[in-house]
Structure 1
């Protein structure tokens, strides 16, 4: 049985195909939405490329992209900008961002920050405590962390981690795949003053949320 593939369509014109191998041997693939209009032969080549990005499969992808360059270069409609929620009930993310940048001497004046949107109850599958949007230069922090039970140093760690995504260059792994958690990224991540405590807390926090899934 072949490993499943999860596809996310994007408007990213600099990285048309990004493949990430997950721990359960499945694949997460971010594709430019032009691939949604690909013919069956191209989709078959894409599936082969994901599992084995050799020269032949890379050429097939390159040929498809070249045929659709004009449409790819068309600017997508701008996303409606959501208001930033910097001040939470417990933590003020703006203050934390500035403190982290100063403490670790990270020059990133263009980076903004916001709490993520609160959503209604739904079945728990996975949790992403922070994210960085390169296009918007925006860090989003999961609102689950805006509570007294979550220590401030852990919120600082999440902000620090996402801030590193803004300043540490990505690398190209074998087969042209994009790698964001590079050796340099991991080295700098461990410079966080309470890295071990933050790592341990994250593990406990996620396990607790998982044990309460569906509740």
Structure 2
């Protein structure tokens, strides 16, 4: 499926470099303590970094950040954005997240790089920062292997629990019951072997889109979310079934590393996907109706 562009509002980084002092960039010996404070901050409040950054978080608690913590986050994120911008000679719009599944995502154009990074990257060593610039800014897929290795080593810093806002997973839509489709597909093609919850994702803000991610499977929580743009009368049932089938396959065929890059759909996945009876018709319908889906 095609990639869903980032939905958060990014802010352009136009400011001069920040001097890397102990106050602005904690020493590596303080990285663990600093990471814990940042993870807590992201869970407690959405914090704008001056006028140039965006920290993405949920509002699950009533706690508020101290002035010192705010200033530390501002300085570290600003320093990272500046380093990337200076390396790429391109404005960087940075969002720092507390995501559980997607650690790096980006959208690149000739004039700006829109980048979302998990907060673990605020403490990343220089070679990892360069890999971010190479992977997201220059399209160097080999650098993705460096990022994969770094992320694997930072697993304890990835939040495992759901926020309250993430817990909702409603399978009943206006036109389609995803649970019924899932159960039927699971019985027919997987002998009941796929263990996952399924529901509709949230409708993103209306805006012009060039691509859309129609489904996503979270390996950690075993959850499938389907884009609500599919819950409409014009979409044939077999196409929704195909998207659900596609996401169910991700449980059987997880992503893997190959030739220095992340392979999300290995050959075995693609071969099994073709077992869907209306595989060709589904791809054809998607191709012919992409504009309908992009309009949401």
> TM-score normalised to the size of structure 2?
0.53
- Asked if the contact 1:19/1:178 (under 8 Å) is kept, the reply is no
State the match for 2:219 in structure 1: 134
**How far does the alpha carbon of each residue in 1:38-80 deviate from its partner, in whole angstroms, 9 at most, with x for none?**
36565235535773748xx95x996x789xx6x7524637332
For structure 2, the residue ranges without an aligned partner over 5 or more in a row are 1-87
CA deviations 1:124-150 (Å, max 9, x no partner) are: 232111111112211111111112211
Residue of structure 2 in register with 1:163 after alignment: 248
Q: What residue in structure 1 maps to residue 156 of structure 2?
A: 73
CA distance in 2 between partners of 1:6 and 1:191 (Å):
42
Q: Does 1:184 align with 2:282?
A: no
TM-aligned CA distance change 1:173 to 1:96, over 3 Å: same
Matches within 5 A, 1:52-201: 53=142, 58=146, 73-74=156-157, 76=159, 78=161, 79-80=163-164, 81-175=166-260, 177-201=261-285
Please tell me whether the aligned partners of residues 98 and 159 of structure 2 are also in contact (alpha carbons under 8 angstroms). no
Query: 1:143-166 CA distances to partner (integer Å, 9 max, x unpaired)?
Result: 111122111111100000000011
2:176 counterpart SS class: coil
Kept after mapping to 1: 8 A contact 2:100/2:158: no
TM-score, with normalisation over the residues of structure 1?
0.71
Structure 2 vs 1, CA of residues 73 and 101 (structure 1 numbering), >3 Å: closer, same or farther? same
Contact map agreement 2:242 2:279 (CA 8 A) in 1: yes
1:204 aligns with 2:267: no
* 1:33 and 2:115 are equivalent in the alignment: no
The 2-side partners of 1:173 and 1:37 are apart by 27
Deviation at 1:108, TM superposition (A): 3.7
Tell me the CA shift for residue 6 of structure 1. 9.3
Choose 135-144 or 29-38, whichever is displaced more. 29-38
Displacement of 1:206 in angstroms is 1.0
Aligned equivalents of 2:151, 2:125: Cα separation in 1: 13
For the residues of structure 2 that align with 1:190 and 1:156, how far apart are their CA atoms? 13
- Runs (4 or more) in structure 1 with deviation over 6 Å come to 4-8, 27-30
Secondary structure at the counterpart of residue 229 of structure 2? helix
Please report the RMSD computed on the Cα atoms of aligned residues, expressed in angstroms. 4.1
| Shift in Å, 1:107 | 4.0
Q: How far off is 1:197 after superposition?
A: 0.4
Gaps of 5+ in 1: none
- For residues 3-61 of structure 1, the C-alpha deviation after alignment (integer angstroms, 9 at most, x for no partner) is x8998856569x97x799x9x9xx9988653112336565235535773748xx95x99
Which of the two has higher C-alpha Rg? 2
